[in-house]
Each structure stands twice: as structure tokens, then as C-alpha cells.
Structure 1
């Protein structure tokens, strides 16, 4: 059973990414394959990170996805348009959750997901506590 619709936090920036629905995304049931949604969760989170942090920050730190959870609510068809809206939760040591809503061109919720990410030192891939200053880039 799907969880209740995810609602963006009012204290967080909502980062929006248009999604391209490619012919290779369509499965034998005529809609976007479930695996594509998992890829979108990762791509959207990465795009948000890249948009908010400098090349120097990205060279120092990286993120590792630990878990993705997706609720599939409405199929996206080949001729659909779609957008992803993402925001972050509260840091928990080296980890935080990222929330994603995937909506069609009419604003209907088609899928939603929660990804758990871990901040690592890029050079060693060792987990590192999320600095308090980092959260400011994701706040309103």
C-alpha cells in the first residue's frame, strides 16, 4: 500500500527538474518502466546537489545512495510530460532523506519516492557527518 502523498516542507527549497520520457523508458505495458523512476530519483538528487554546491565542494564531498523507496501511483505514457520536485529532510549524522514527487503535465502525482543518502569524503569514500552549514543551501 502506498504511503500518503509526500508534501514538501515549507522550510525547504523545492528543486524542480523536468523529466524526459524517452522511447527506451516505455515497457511492454505501454508506460514508463518502474526502474526508470529509481534512476530519476538518483538523477534529481544529484542535479539538486550540483546546482547548489561549488566545484570545490563537489570535489571534497560526494553522496552515496543507501536506499530508494518508490510508490507508483499513475503510469506515465509515452506522450506524457513529467516533472520531479525534490527536497531534503533533516540530517542524521552522515545521512539524510531526500523526497521526490513525480508529477505529470497536469500536476497529478504519478510516483513519489524517498531516498536515503550518505555524505562521504570524495577522496576516501568514508562517511562524514553532514556539516550544519550545508543544510542552508537546501533551505528557503
Structure 2
């Protein structure tokens, strides 16, 4: 199993939709946020300057709603990388009950920051997340 990256967030009123549970758009934001935080924490500065990730696709399976003041544990890891593509999994669990709230799979494409063209995910980048 690859190394995972974790964080906990607290649901606020700004996260809620008209049904008073976490808005789907907020979940997508959290999926993107943890991916970016993981990359920025683990990658050396030279890679941060040379490379940027963009989303190709999201697949999200919603399992259970979260509500105001819930604590959510978010975990992410890289499932696989091939060519310029990297598949990242994000899971969100209710911190108290440990129930799965959401599981997502996102395909990210690695771009060169100067040309904005796709580049191969190097062995050096793969090693960061093993």
C-alpha cells in the first residue's frame, strides 16, 4: 500500500447546502485541496517549480452525508502512475463513527510549468509517494 497523507477538518456552516449537509461542491474542493497539500508537502522545491498537476477526471462515490460540526478524516494516496497520468484516491470518514462518507478516484495529468504540456511522471516523483 502506498504512503497515505491525512488531515482532519471540521464541517462549518459555509460547507452546507440547502439540505443542511455538506455540499457536493465542497467535497470536490476538499479532494483537490488534500491532493495539492500532499504534493506541496512531499515534493522538493525544484519539482514544485517545474511541474503542476491538472485534473483530467473525477469519479466520486458518496456513501453517507456529513453535517455541521462533524469532524472528517481525509486520507489520500497515489494508486498508480503511468505516462503523464497519476491516479489518486481520496477517502473521507466520519472521525467519530469511522463510517465511510466518500471515496473518490481522480486522474491527474502532470504538466511542465513553462510549456503547460504533459510530461511523464518520473521515477523520482513516483518514489516520493511510495
| Smaller-chain TM-score bracket | over 0.9
**Is residue 121 from structure 1 mapped to residue 112 from structure 2 by the alignment?**
yes
**C-alpha distance in 1 between matches for 2:105 and 2:17:** 23
Unaligned runs of 5+ in 1: 1-9
Per-residue CA shift, 1:51-109, capped at 9, x if unaligned? 10122210111101111111111110102000110000221200011000001112211
TM score, norm. by length of structure 2: 0.95
- Number of aligned residues: 129
1:137 shift after superposition:
0.9
TM-score, normalised with respect to structure 1:
0.88
Q: Which runs of 5+ in 2 are unaligned?
A: none
Deviant stretches of 4+, over 3 Å? none
The Cα shift of 1:19 comes to 2.1
The equivalent of 2:17 in structure 1 is 27
Question: Equivalents in 2 of 1:46, 1:38: separation in Å?
Answer: 13
Query: 2:56 aligned to 50, 66, 69, which one?
Result: 66
Alignment correspondent of 2:6: 16
Task: Measure the CA separation in 2 of the matches of 1:58 and 1:90.
Answer: 20
In 1, distance between residues paired with 2:125 and 2:87? 14
